[in-house]
Amino acid sequence: MMSVSSYAKDPSCLDAFVIANTAVRDHIQSTEIDADLMERTVPVYLDILDPLKIYLLEGERGKIEQETKEKKGEILTQIKENTCEYFSSLDKAVEKGKDRWIKLNEELMAQSQKEIANFKNVDRGEKVEPFKTEEELKTYAHYVVGKYVQAELESKKKPAFKKVVEEFKKTLKESSKEDKKDERRGDRVAKSLFLSLDPHSGYMTQEEIEDFEIAISANFYGVGLQLKETDIGVEIVKVMKNSPAEKEGSIKKGDVITKVDGKSVLKKKVNEVAKMIRGKQKTPVKVTIVREEKPKKTVSKEVVLVRDLIPIEETKAKGKTFEINGKRVGLINLPSFYFDPKTQEGATSDVLKVYNELKSKGKLDAIILDLRYDGGGILDEAVKLTGIFIKEPVVVQIKSRGEVRKLKAAVAPQYIEEPLIVAINKYSASASEIVAGALKDYGRAVIVGDSVTYGKGTVQTVNVQFKSMDLGAFKITS
């Protein structure tokens, strides 16, 4: 759960150290960035470079981790002196393993269709571990290639085997290029340092900050287009209702965006194009679209749209009513705890809106607050939401380094007084658990659903003090 309290250039190793060292002062356990933390940081760094554990074999990784143990003090000194020498050597080791993986795939794709189809199933289990030998890695590569070819040949398009092979090679080559430019070393070092503190602390790049802000506010400023990648540009799969794009009227589902403000979007990822289209409210953006009007005939058109507030409806509170034994029950579903500082609206205000809308259509005999699959969000919203169901002030206590802080709900603008049921499951986490727990402890609600929830009982503070330096942000478990 987050309480909001940022580094988009690539931070240097020293930047990464300064950011982490600033954050660690408020961490729930650690108090400094030391050599022992560096020992934990390197395996995390390797996991970022090789998440599927297909580039480094078990022995290769073990050798690196042993070397790290012996050189942890030296590695810390390097970072403080603003050199990334050791982390650079890790990049090279993983790059070498990546070349091996690509070569294995290319060798397999050179085989006949019959040979490729003769693969063994490989079950890696829930916890992915590195392969012990190159032979094991080759068996897995054969499995990956074989399953891909099998799925493509059995798809509705039924492409020729040769075309499937060519497409696989193309995808392999493009993904390799993306891997090389995707994450920068300074970002990786910073991310690794934070994840070494605990699983919930983290470093965010400038791009990730934008996504994070959209997620916690459930709004963004754009034109209301849902997109997907194609070979010639980015296709529009949906024009959102009441959006600037729908109101302008020129853009249709199936149109392909080829340029944004005159800049080509060919081969760009959907998230890159989406960020080009988003911007400040009431500012214009020029979108060039291509549309197929007749077979083999396409037209190109430039459309100027004015950005506006776009709500992300799937993360917002929703409601409906149903009857049980003649009783009218209101069901309010809350997928996350969000708050938009620009509009000053969030989960609590939306729940009240939904409640009032349901009640305006007739008496409600009970309310079900559905927090299943709600992974949490803004802590203040959890406190405020609890406060519309109970008048007791203290909602939750936070213990940090021996100090206990009590979070109290302010006097609510309106109270919901109908009998209350709160639905939870094993995916209800953080803020959801606080709300359900408080309402249960005060005897306000009956809790139904799974016998256990996710079990995340920590609070993260998002710190944006470095945003003016264009170096990102961090969240720390405090």
What is the distance, to the nearest Å, from the Cα of residue 276 to the centroid of all Cα atoms in its chain? 19
- Would you please indicate which residues are annotated as catalytic (active-site) residues? 430, 441, 456
Phi, psi for 53 (deg, rounded to 5): 55, 55
Type of residue numbered 166: E
